[in-house]
Structure 1
């Protein structure tokens, strides 16, 4: 039973396992100063994206400032139904696209506003870490395309619980809020494409009966 579960959900399990391991290291092995250094190093801010975009994109999803337990639970609520519906490789594609687009669009807007003099130079090194773009996309995809009523309802409950946090500062174009919205849209659109592809692969009732 456990072996079947591990083979069926490697992407959610690996993602949550790495996130949990980093959480353990942050909590048990690093001083407050070292934790701040890790967050600064992993942040997908303008400064880091300019010198190490790929590494920053990857590591930022597994480092969080706080609320690790909540983030882990809600991410699981989104990822497992999506993996069950679409499979692991497509789930990886969905969350990767959402994470990258959420980062690029939100930081791109921040860069434009910085150039226009609407933001201070401190925006370049602003902490920006965590799996929130991943969970935003996964929750929306699970609500829209999840396999069965209860996984969808559970994902919807998780989304509603986090909505005040996810949308906080959106009207003022807060970087995180913009990224969350972009990630949600990406989750919905990529999920729709995957769902449509899945439906096309299924034989029609007439062919199945024949």
Structure 2
């Protein structure tokens, strides 16, 4: 009979980088530990997320509205289209008689026959802003920029006509579109991205500064005497 036969086999303990295994069982609860500084597969720097319809409901609905009015302007009766656009214009005459209707409906048209420029403008400004702050805040920024810049520009027009620099026909000039709101969304998005750009690794403190490492040596008379002894 072999001397090792009949004896209990020893239980070996294996310790690895992700925890210890004792007797074929993991002792760390089955969770793998990531090494410091490692990046998880599929993650993006800064927590950025790709564009998705569920995260951009306001931007998609607004683009669909602009597409619908653009198709209506191409297919409907030209006289009806001109009448509706004139009613929606944010000129001085309409702002004096029905300001709310003019401010709301003027943002439902595109300034021109093409819808594609507005598609790209909303995709690169309103959509990323909505993913960062939410649909309600993005809509608020768009509306505030549209209303504020429209009132400011028409105030300049009214002043120019009152001073005699422009003719009275400028008070009824067609003014539709939402370019002011798109520019306001771009400014808000740039303001949100500015703090993230300020935390770039190029602006980190130098390695010899006191805040760069906790192992920075400080000079003292005792240390100098120790090194010169």
- The answer to whether the 8 Å contact 1:43/1:60 transfers is yes
Aligned to 1:15: 62
Higher CA-based Rg: 2
Question: Aligned pair 1:36/2:82, yes or no?
Answer: yes
1:83 to 123, 127, 130: 130
Aligned to 2:116: 69
Separation in 2, partners of 1:65, 1:36: 13
Aligned to 1:112: 159
2:91 to 45, 49, 58: 45
- The answer to whether the 8 Å contact 1:82/1:138 transfers is yes
Matches within 5 A, 1:40-189: 40-66=86-112, 67-146=114-193
Identify the structure with bigger relative contact order (alpha carbons < 8 Å, sequence gap 6+): 1
- TM-fit CA distance, 1:137: 1.3
Structure 1 unpaired stretches of 5+: 150-210
When you count helix as a share of all residues, which structure comes out higher? 1
Displacement over 6 Å in runs of 4+: none
The SS at the match of 2:139 is helix
Structure 2 unpaired stretches of 5+: 1-50, 197-229
My pick for the range that moved more, 100-109 or 73-82, is: 73-82
The alignment of Structure 1 onto Structure 2 pairs a total of residues equal to 145
Normalised to the residue count of structure 2, the TM-score between the two structures is 0.58
Separation in 2, partners of 1:114, 1:108: 10
Separation in 2, partners of 1:117, 1:50: 20
Normalised to the residue count of structure 1, the TM-score between the two structures is 0.63
- TM-fit CA distance, 1:33: 2.7
Separation in 2, partners of 1:113, 1:79: 33
- TM-fit CA distance, 1:120: 0.6
